[in-house]
Each structure stands twice: as C-alpha cells, then as structure tokens.
C-alpha cells in the first residue's frame, strides 16, 4: 500500500474582527473556539440545542448570539468562517458540505483531514503571535508552541524589529545600520535593572526587552555579558561611572535617552541592581516623561539585598534583625536606628569606610558590632571581609578591598560562613 501524502496547506492569519463567524455546537471545543473568536473581535453566532455556561453567559451579556436549536439551512448566510464541533458526525458533515458549496472556510472538530481550515496551537507574547501545527498531533503542536513562547519571553530569539509601520496607509520602513529606526515615529525607553552582575539574575522581561532594543545605554555594573548575545549592529553606549569619576554626567545620560527615543528607537537603559535603588532611575524617568517619551521601569534584583545574600547574610533574621536601612556612604548615618538588631547596608562606601564606621560608633553603635564587606557580589572575584566597626576599615585597607562592594553592619553578619571562619 502506498502512503498518501497530506495535501499541502497555506498558513495565514485571519482578521475576523467585525465579521460574522458561525459556531455549530455548544460543548467544550465549540465553547473554546467561540470565546477565542470573541477575543479576536468576531461577530459570533452559536447554534446548538444546549451550550456550556460560558456560552450562555456571553449570550446573556450580549457578546454573542446563541440560537438554542440544531443546525438549519440558512445558518451559514453571511458567515465568513464556520466552526463545527457538535460531536455528531452527520451534523458536522452536513455543515462541512454546506460550507464547501458556499465557498466558506470550515474548521471541523475532530476531523482535520476533511476540514478546509485548521486552528493551530497559539500563544501571544506582546505583538508576536506564535501559531504551530504539527501534522495530526495537537499535543506536539502545543509543546512546540510553549517552547517557542518561552524562548521569546526569555529573550533567546532575535526579537528586534526590522520593519515598522509608519502610518495608517500601511507604509513601512526597514531600519538598517544607518538609521536605526528614524522615521518610525516615537520610540520608547525601558529602565532595566540587571541585578548585581550575574547575567542569570536579570528578569525575564528585562532580557526580552534587551533582545528587542535598538539602543542600549549601559552602566559599568550592569551584566555586560548579556551584550555579547545581541546583534552586532546594535548601538551600545557606555556611560559607566567609577567612584569620583563620571565621564558622562547624568544630564547627558538623560539627554541620550530622550534623543534616541524621539528618533523612533527602542532604548534600554541597562543598570546594575535595581533602577530605583540609588540608580538615579527616577531622574531618568522624569526626563523621559517631560519630553513626552514613553518610559517603563523593569525592577531588578538589588545588590543591597542580593550581595549580602551571596555571602550568606540575610538582611533580616528572626531573633537578630527586624529591619534594615540602605544608605550610601555619602548619607548621614547618624539618622538611622542605633541598635545592632537593625541592619545597615552601605552601598558605594569603600573609600569612606573608616569615616562611616566612626560615625556609627559615635551615634551609639557598639564598636564590637559585626561588619562584612562583600566585594563583587555574584562576580568572578567575590570576596567577603569581616570585622567589627572598630577593625573593618583597617582590615579592608590591609587586604586591598575595592569597589564594587556592599558593606553590611549588624548582628546578621554573624550568620555568614566567613564570620565563623575569620571572626575577630
């Protein structure tokens, strides 16, 4: 026996909004199709003696029309598409035959071989529609769909737009190396927190926005390893700052974001940690809004909590610390609670560590309060140096501690493995 080769098909997407679509049947499959068609804006008419509650509720709400009877001549009048899923072969066959005679596309539940149209396994991720068919294996199609959708969500696929609509007449432009989206209308800015350095700690949304970006404005402490996976023609602008050295001032960074967004580009401002935890993200968001540029904030894993955690230090712990304060060494440390059961997390404080410790002691903290300095948390040179308010500055100088580093002050430091191994 010679195996029959399935007839070739031509995949396409239908715009059903405002168009009459007939659904014959009121069971689970018919209900699922009817609700999906409603979401697509179709004018849905259901014909079935009985229907599931969702159909009845939609009809009562005026979202669709339900005729509580069997299929009859004339039901296909004016229909652009028909879905039949009654579970009764004779009825479904009749609907299919009528649809063929009227040159109306027909989705036939349970019988894809004879249908003239099929419904694929579908997922939507923002403006990307994933539709998968896999022969006669719907579970395989669903698994493939889920895999592709997950890769899109994670930013593992090339998501950057190549053509963008310019106007209502359907014209598009195709941004290349030279224009990067000029003429495409207003762009956008996303302030993305990349976490404390490990590329695996960026959020899924942040990773996806990177994959879609035309321009990335990147900080020194952002997870730069992620840039290696982006297209070579992506415009990357390095505005990294080091302690006491800011080659690109904040006003200039704000202007860069606005400039590229107004030129129609998707801009990602990639930061270390969280954009709103001493990242000046609030100022950047204000600048974008003042210029009429859409701006979104994607939270990140803040180093204030994550870096101590990398060293085995929780910022709160039952019986040891009921709260914590995050400061930079530039702030007035004398204004925070003075007990050792209130954790202090200091960012950007290596160069002023001696003065900060002295100020904490002067405002009531015992000189024996445990302190840990965690360098390059989650990075290749992560190192933990422990001591007390009385000794940590000298130890840090002796060992050559350098930024980036997070300092933790309080009893929770005793939980760190480094404290057990090296405590004074």
Helix, strand, coil percent values for the chain (each to nearest 5): 30, 20, 45
CB within 8 Å of 227: residues ≥ 6 apart: 216, 218, 234, 236
> Would you give the distance in Å from CA 223 to the centre of its chain?
16
> Would you give the distance in Å from CA 46 to the centre of its chain?
37
Instruction: Pick the catalytic residue from 219, 271, 274, 376.
Output: 219
Q: Are 311 and 372 in contact (CB under 8 A)?
A: yes
Instruction: Pick the catalytic residue from 238, 241, 331, 341.
Output: 241
CA 416/CA 192 separation, integer angstroms: 30
Q: Which two tokens stand for residue 61?
A: 């709400």
CA 213/CA 270 separation, integer angstroms: 11
- 13, with CB counted inside 10 A (0-12, 13-18, 19+), is exposed
Neighbours of 140 (CB within 10 A): 14
Integer CA distances (angstroms), 332 to 304, 325, 357, 368, in order? 17, 12, 12, 21
Is 219 considered catalytic here?
yes
Is 92 considered catalytic here?
no
User: What are the residue numbers of the active site?
Assistant: 219, 241
């Amino acid at each position: 026996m010679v195996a029959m080769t399935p007839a070739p098909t031509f995949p396409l997407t239908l715009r059903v909004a405002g168009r009459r679509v007939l659904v014959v049947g009121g069971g689970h499959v018919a209900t699922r199709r009817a609700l999906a068609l409603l979401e697509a804006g179709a004018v849905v008419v259901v014909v079935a003696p009985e229907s599931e509650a969702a159909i009845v509720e939609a009809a009562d709400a005026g979202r669709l029309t339900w005729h509580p009877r069997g299929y009859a001549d004339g039901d296909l009048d004016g229909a652009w598409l028909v879905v039949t899923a009654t579970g009764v072969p004779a009825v479904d066959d009749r609907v299919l035959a009528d649809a063929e005679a009227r040159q109306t596309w027909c989705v036939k539940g349970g019988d894809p071989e004879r249908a003239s149209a099929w419904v694929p396994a579908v997922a939507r991720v923002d403006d990307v529609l994933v539709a998968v068919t896999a022969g006669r294996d719907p579970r395989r199609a669903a698994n493939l769909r889920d895999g592709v959708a997950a890769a899109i969500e994670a930013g593992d696929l090339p998501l950057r737009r190549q053509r963008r609509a310019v106007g209502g007449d359907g014209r598009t432009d195709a941004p290349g190396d030279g224009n990067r989206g000029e003429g495409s209308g207003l762009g956008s800015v996303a302030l993305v927190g990349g976490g404390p350095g490990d590329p695996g700690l960026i959020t899924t949304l942040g990773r996806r926005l990177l994959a879609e970006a035309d321009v990335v404005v990147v900080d020194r402490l952002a997870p730069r390893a992620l840039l290696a996976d982006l297209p070579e023609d992506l415009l990357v602008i390095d505005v990294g700052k080091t302690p006491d050295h800011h080659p690109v001032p904040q006003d200039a960074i704000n202007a860069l974001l606005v400039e590229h967004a107004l030129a129609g580009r998707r801009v990602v401002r990639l930061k270390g940690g969280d954009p709103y935890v001493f990242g000046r993200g609030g100022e950047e968001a204000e600048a974008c809004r003042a210029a009429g540029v859409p701006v979104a904030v994607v939270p990140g894993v803040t180093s204030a909590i994550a870096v101590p955690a990398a060293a085995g230090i929780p910022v709160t712990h039952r019986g040891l610390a009921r709260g914590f304060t995050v400061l930079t060494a530039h702030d007035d440390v004398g204004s925070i609670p003075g007990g050792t059961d209130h954790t202090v997390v200091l960012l950007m404080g290596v160069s002023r560590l001696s003065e900060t410790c002295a100020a904490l002691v002067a405002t009531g903290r015992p000189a024996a309060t445990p302190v840990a300095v965690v360098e390059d948390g989650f990075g290749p040179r992560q190192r933990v140096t422990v001591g007390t308010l009385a000794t940590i500055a000298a130890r840090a100088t002796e060992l050559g501690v350098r930024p980036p580093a997070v300092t933790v002050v309080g009893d929770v430091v005793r939980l760190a493995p480094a404290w057990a191994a090296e405590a004074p």
